[in-house]
Amino acid sequence: MSEWKNCTLGDLGEVVGGGTPSTKKPEYYGGDIAWITPKDLSTFSGRFIKHGKRNITEEGLKGSSARLMPKNTILLSSRAPIGYVAIAENEVSTNQGFKSIVPNDDTDYLFLYYLLKFNKDKIENMGSGTTFKEVSGKTVKAIDVTVPSNKEKQHEIAKILGSLDDKIENNRKINHHLELMAQAIFKSWFIDYENSTDFVETEIGMIPSSWKVVSLSEIAEISNGYSYKGKELKESSTAMATIKNFDRNGGFKSNGFKELVPSDKIKPTHFVSINEILIAHTDLTQNADIIGNSEILLNDFGYDAIVASMDLVKINSKISGISNYTLLLMTKNELFKQYCLGFVNGTTVLHLSKKAVPNYKLAIPSSEKIFKEFNSLVEPLFERMKVVIKETESLISLRDSLLPKLMSGEIKVCYYAAK
């Protein structure tokens, strides 16, 4: 460890707080300056962030304690909660829930990102407060760390971890595009009816004359999630799928599970198997970003069993010719989303009416042959997604096992200084 040095985070860069422009002044918002909040990072799964939910104007920046920070600044949420970390892909500002670090010239920005990820628990434990925990800028500056004294060595360490994250992020893009392909095929067949020429008027609009209108409950088994008790949340090989598994940008996240040891009140219908579909029935935000969203379970993520929480509804095809892949696409589109939004109620927490999902009306072909032809097109896409997810989970496991060993110097990395 002779090539490593003891220092503080304050020695590695400038610690910068943020601020919130007055919400009473609309001219402070809607500009071109990216403004990030911890809530933005709560739904963010990558490393590099361009912007948050809202932008601010130049006037808003000047009228608050927010600062414009350069590209490659490391954003660290300092409250509600502590420990979200991201890298600014461009110039950004933040609210007061951050203590960001602008790296010094002799600090590799990507290494600093992984250093903060490595020290997440340590930083979180330094939080104080009654209403919610927070770490101050003074505390962040004084946090002791051990880092390579040579920037090139920092870079080599970060490059190993970064190459894994590059592949993980690329895999997520691949799966996103595969799903978009499946949705495009579905739209062509089941919404635009591009293979049909003869239409009739129905309660849901014009549909092919050989098709029929059904409710979702006629073609799918619909099961409510498990109403668990807090005391059941314990370390376990059983995981509970929750609304936190639903990425607000679309997709199913593996880091949203809660482990639990369920009571004897649990029913077989509460368990979720591969290829079964979950629909979000609750949303903690007023934007209703995920309520009515539909996701399919394509991987067990290493758990022996998975249970759907009470905030979710599970659906399964009960028609032999309709695959769950097709059923997913029937419920994962803008028509279904907008339909669900019409059945949302609640103030602080939004809930979807229990009647909404079963009563959803859609058009389906009368011929099973059409379903078979359609499934032959989309099934390979979802099967490929399964392979990519499995590879991604292996990469995440490898990255997470290497992180503490590389950042502590347990694993030595050779590097070549520029001549």
- State mean pLDDT over 311-333: 96
Same domain, 30 and 145: yes
Query: How many angstroms separate the CA atoms of 266 and 355, rounded?
Result: 23
User: What digits encode the pLDDT tens for the residues 118-165?
Assistant: 999 999 999 887 677 899 999 999 999 999 999 999 999 999 999 999
Q: 238 and 318: one domain?
A: yes
Give the pLDDT of residue 288.
78
Burial 212-221, CB ≥16 within 10 A → b, else e: eeeebeebbe
Domain count across the chain? 2
Q: Is 129 left (phi over 0), alpha (psi -120 to 50) or beta?
A: left
Residues 239 and 369 placed together within one structural domain of the fold: yes
Asked if 96 contacts 37 with a C-beta cutoff of 8 angstroms, the reply is no
pLDDT bin (cut points 50, 70, 90) of residue 377 is: very high
Q: Which pLDDT does position 354 carry in this prediction?
A: 92
Q: What is the CATH number of the domain that holds 219?
A: 3.90.220.20
Is residue 295 in a domain? yes
Domain enclosing residue 39, as ranges: 4-149
Over the chain, what is the mean pLDDT?
A: 94
Between CA 216 and CA 218 the distance in angstroms is 5
Query: For 172-182, what is each residue's pLDDT tens digit?
Result: 999 999 999 99
pLDDT tens digits for 215-249? Answer: 999 999 999 999 999 999 999 999 999 999 998 77
Question: Does 254 reside within a domain?
Answer: yes
Cα 117 to Cα 111, 121, 413, distances in angstroms: 10, 9, 19
Residue 415 has pLDDT above 70, yes or no: no
pLDDT at 398: 97
In a domain, residue 412? The reply is no
Average pLDDT over residues 291-300: 96
Whether 127 and 42 map to the same domain: the answer is yes
Question: What pLDDT score was predicted for residue 418?
Answer: 47
Q: In the Cβ-directed half-sphere of 193, how many Cα atoms lie within 13 Å?
A: 16
Give the residue-averaged pLDDT of 390-409: 96
Q: What is the pLDDT of residue 255?
A: 85
CA distances from residue 206 to 89, 194, 366 in whole angstroms, order as listed = 46, 13, 16
On whether both 124 and 179 belong to a single domain, the answer is no
Same structural domain, 13 and 116: yes
Q: Are residues 82 and 184 both part of a single domain?
A: no
Q: Which of 116, 70, 112, 111 is nearest to 94 (CA)?
A: 70
> For the chain, give me the number of helices (H) and strands (E)?
12, 24
The continuous run of DSSP H or E covering 166 comes out as helix 151-186
User: Residue 419: pLDDT band by 50, 70, 90 thresholds?
Assistant: very low
Rounded mean pLDDT of 67-90?
A: 95
- 206 and 117 in a common domain: no
Confidence band of 1 (pLDDT split at 50, 70, 90)? low
6 pLDDT more than 80: yes
Token match 């995981």: residue? 239
Percent of the chain at pLDDT > 90 equals 85
Same domain for 123 and 192, yes or no, is no
